[in-house]
Structure 1
Amino acid sequence: MTTPPVPEGLVESPTEDPTATKILDAALAEFTDFGIRRVSVDNIAARAGVHRTTVYRYFSTKAEILQASAVKWLHDTFSTIYDEIQTLPPDERVVEGFARAVGACYASPLTARVLGSDTDAGLRSLTVDAGPVIGMVSAVFVHWLWEGDESGSSEDAAGTAEVLVRLGLSFVLTPDSHFDMRSPDVRRDFARRYLLPLMTVL
């Protein structure tokens, strides 16, 4: 299977510039502590220890900072997961990749903030405006699950990965379920019972 390219920043570090990294780390901390709406560029600059004009040299708008910091969070989180699962057999990469990715979202204070006190802005970024995020994470899943597999097509892999991502996102957005997805063992069992058979027909 010829896999489509992984978006820049999701395998390689999204930035090696120390100032940009400092700004994005500060932005993630601000969004986690105060939510999306309440944070300004001035807040991020102060937390990063730089002038606001320095922030604007790297990012034109707060929306750009939000997008770039989200990519950094994805990179940092998924790189750790990938290191943990890359030597597993393909089926187990599906199981562990799904279980650990959903678990990382549940455990993240940023997720709790966005879906808790910052509901309106957070839900829009993860529903109506979630297309780019779904596309990026789907491409990462393709890289995780089918790297080096020359059978099939990249379209099949991309479609299957998107189904996995959308299912995972639905459980993050609505954790109350017949499945106790807060449990790692339940997430693994769900993946084995429902996702692996699904992949054979996609």
Structure 2
Amino acid sequence: MTRPGSGARRLRTSVRPEEQEAVILAAARREFAEVGVRRAGMDAVARAAGVSRSTLYRRFPNKDALLAKVGEAIALATMRHLAAAVRGLPPREAVVEAFVECTRIVDEDPLVRRLLLDEPDVADVLVSQTSRTAGEFLEASGAAVAGTLRRAGATMPDDDLLLVSEHFVRVALSLTQIRTSRLDIADVETVRAYATKFLAPVVW
């Protein structure tokens, strides 16, 4: 990691605010993934992003606020990715592909793995920063999944679809946080078979 005074590249003062924010968030995501959220320092993020401490703190008053913005970006990118993965598929196939992609993201993304597996208490902070309660987080995530399945052609009543979608989110979180030898989420075909047999049939 670049130390102060070692020639770290500074962002041009003329750079647009949204570009500067993107660079800061990318630096924060790397720092959180490499050393963990608890150990990550705002000064280290500022150095990695090539901005001053005052610039960083003007945009993000503390680490929790920075983490919340990183989490928001991850959630948005994930939903876009899932929407692309299920585009053109009928509802049950969409369930399977979305579930496979969710588990793959958790297994391969170092920051997502840290938040869900290594530092779950930090994930609780992230939830509290983006919504008032964990229940609201689940409801929002379930609603996003339900919208995706509806666009894929699901015809079941709204209340049922929302409940089933929330169930999928709960299952995905549980399987990634508490692992057993019976279901290896790193094995795509095992995950696909599980979703095909136990999850897809409840959607219509």
Instruction: Tell me, yes or no, whether TM beats 0.5.
Output: yes
- Bigger shift: residues 156-165 or 91-100: 156-165
Q: TM (normalized to structure 1)? A: 0.77
CA contact (8 A) 1:36 1:121 kept: no
**1:60–1:76: structure 2 CA closer, same or farther, 3 Å change rule?**
same
Instruction: Report the Cα offset of residue 114 of structure 1.
Output: 3.8
Change (3 A) 1:146 1:188: same
Query: Greater relative contact order (Cα 8 A, min sep 6): structure 1 or 2?
Result: 1
Which one of the candidate residues 173, 176, 183 is aligned to 1:172? 176
Query: Aligned letter for 2:151?
Result: E
- SS at structure 1 position matched to 2:89: coil
Give 1 or 2 for the bigger CA radius of gyration. 2
> Gapped runs of 5+ residues in structure 2?
1-16
Deviations 1:97-153 (A, max 9, x none): 01111111111112343456x536346458997545434432331232112758444
Q: Which residue in 1 is equivalent to 2:112?
A: 111
Deviation at 1:43, TM superposition (A): 1.7
**Structure 1 counterpart of 2:47, which letter?**
A
Q: 1:157 to 1:103 in 2, by over 3 A?
A: same
> What fraction of aligned residue pairs are identical, expressed as a percent?
28
**Aligned-residue RMSD, C-alpha:** 2.7
Residue 111 and residue 185 in structure 1: after superposition, are their counterparts in 2 closer, same or farther (change >3 A)? Answer: same
Question: Structure 1: where are the runs of 5+ without partners?
Answer: 1-15
TM-score scaled by length of structure 2: 0.77
Q: Which residue of 2 aligns with 1:72?
A: 73
Matched, 1:141 2:141: no
The equivalent residue for 1:198 is 202
Alignment counterpart, residue 187 of structure 1, candidates 186, 191, 195? 191
Instruction: Return the alpha-carbon distance in structure 2 between the equivalents of residues 34 and 132 of structure 1.
Output: 29
